[in-house]
Amino acid sequence: MTAPQTRARLTPARLAPRDVVRVGAAGLRTRPARALLSALGIAIGIAAMVAVVGISSSSHEQLNRQLAALGTNLLTVSPGQGLNGQDAKLPAEAEAMIARIGPVTAVSATGTIRDARVYRSDKIPKVETNGLTVSATRLSLPRAVGATLRGGVWLNAVTGRYPAAVLGADTAERLGIGRPSPQTEIIVGGERFTVIGVLNPVTLAPELDTAVLIGWEVATGLFRFDGRATTVYTRSRDSQVEAVHGVLAATANPQTPGDVNVSRPSDALAASRAADVTLNGLLLGLGAVALLVGGVGVANTMVISVLERRAEIGLRRSLGATRGQIRVQFLAESLLLSTLGGVGGVLLGIAVTTGYAAYQTWPSVVPAWATAGALAATVIIGGAAGLYPAIRAARLHPTEALAAP
């Protein structure tokens, strides 16, 4: 007797990842014009999304810079009134304690010198004071309040110890001083001071426009200034302004924080935050529409490709390709098509954003989340759009596909 013969079990060949990419790319190479137009449609949609996000972000960055110049992150600390109704005073160490707050980036201060009158010369009647104030000032004041000089120089470590003064814009006008010079002198509290600088109007601190600013050390020596600040200017990170505002009073005067007045955050900061929320919602909506258009384009291309390539599908099935391999082929083709369109769209969107920002003299800003999100969303939508055509192609019977005209 002969042993019963056993049938050899056939197993379909497996496609390596490299083969999957090659097979998927073959469909694109055989119809380059259609693939190019389809990828271009996706690229235009993605480029529109990236450009809208980039241009809006660039515009918003320019707006933030303009708002920052208006002092959205500037807070001032000043003494209020005590429980007995008398004027309170800030502790001498208030500035140093405020500077220790983590988000605070700059601190400076001025101290009003009471009973110090300012005159253009000793020939001016005593009653004509022009309503000017005299303030001892820290050398870091211009950086904290954004002050600029119209002429002359600012106080430094040397001139701050000697009778030298910098005038506010209104002060110089009232005293009839156009340009500072070593020969230009004024009378401050009975002492002669040389005018070494004149400020431009200070938008963030208008009280400085009517002030005569002198060094902290000379104020202590000549006018018995007690060294206590009457106004402390602080700058902090935009995202932490409210948090800094909440702790400033207790930091400046831990014993009696109720005796401290703290300015509220700028309305411009609130407007900036509201603009952020509105802009983000707009960008998400526009991005979703652009991606939807790209996904419809991929789906349309792949469905037509299945209809046109039924004979090819039938031939591959008759040669042993499984349904799974047919699905992988068309899905890979869809992913490659959407990826090519996505990469081209991102590059085009960045180029458009950069060119428009340069034309408007804005900073060019393309958020990383926009480029990464556009690529990821393109691949996901491309895969989803190619899934139905891939399943439809896999369901075709070999004989039915080969019989197709």
Say if residues 251 and 98 touch (Cβ distance below 8 Å): yes
In this structure, of 26-30, 146-150, 206-210, the range with the lowest mean pLDDT score is: 26-30
Owning domain of residue 62:
17-66+271-402
* Residue 2 placed within a domain: no
Q: Does one domain contain both 276 and 326?
A: yes
* pLDDT on residue 299: 65
In this structure, of 49-53, 173-177, 228-232, 298-302, the range with the lowest mean pLDDT score is: 298-302
Total domains in the fold of the chain: 3
Percent of the chain whose predicted confidence (pLDDT) is above 90: 28
The count of other CB atoms within 10 Å of the CB of residue 193 is 23
Reported confidence tier of residue 136, pLDDT bands at 50, 70, 90: very high
* Mutual angle of helices 323-359 and 17-30, in 10-degree steps: 70
* pLDDT on residue 1: 46
* Residue 9 placed within a domain: no
Q: Does one domain contain both 252 and 288?
A: no
Chain position carrying tokens 């959205």: 72
Q: Does one domain contain both 240 and 337?
A: no
Q: Which has more pLDDT, 19 or 289?
A: 289
pLDDT at residue 58 is higher than 70: yes
Tokens found for residue 173: 């006008």
Say if residues 371 and 50 touch (Cβ distance below 8 Å): yes
Say if residues 226 and 189 touch (Cβ distance below 8 Å): no
Q: Does one domain contain both 300 and 255?
A: no
pLDDT at residue 401 is higher than 90: no
Q: Which has more pLDDT, 85 or 365?
A: 365
pLDDT at residue 402 is higher than 60: no
CA–CA separation, 345 vs 42, rounded Å? 7
**Average pLDDT of the residues in 47-63:** 81
* pLDDT on residue 218: 94
Q: Does one domain contain both 128 and 164?
A: yes
Q: Which has more pLDDT, 8 or 369?
A: 369
Q: Does one domain contain both 284 and 387?
A: yes
User: Phi and psi at residue 285, in whole multiples of 5°?
Assistant: -65, -45
Q: Does one domain contain both 284 and 392?
A: yes
Q: 29: buried, middle or exposed (CB in 10 Å: 19+, 13-18, 0-12)?
A: exposed
Q: Does one domain contain both 77 and 130?
A: no
CA–CA separation, 196 vs 179, rounded Å? 9
pTM for this structure? Answer: 0.57
Q: Which has more pLDDT, 210 or 241?
A: 210
Q: Does one domain contain both 49 and 162?
A: no
* Residue 275 placed within a domain: yes
CA–CA separation, 101 vs 185, rounded Å? 40
Residue range 309-368, pLDDT digits in tens:
666 666 666 666 677 777 777 777 778 888 888 888 889 989 999 999 999 888 898 888
Residue range 228-280, pLDDT digits in tens:
999 999 998 877 888 898 899 999 998 888 888 988 766 556 666 666 666 66
* pLDDT on residue 215: 94
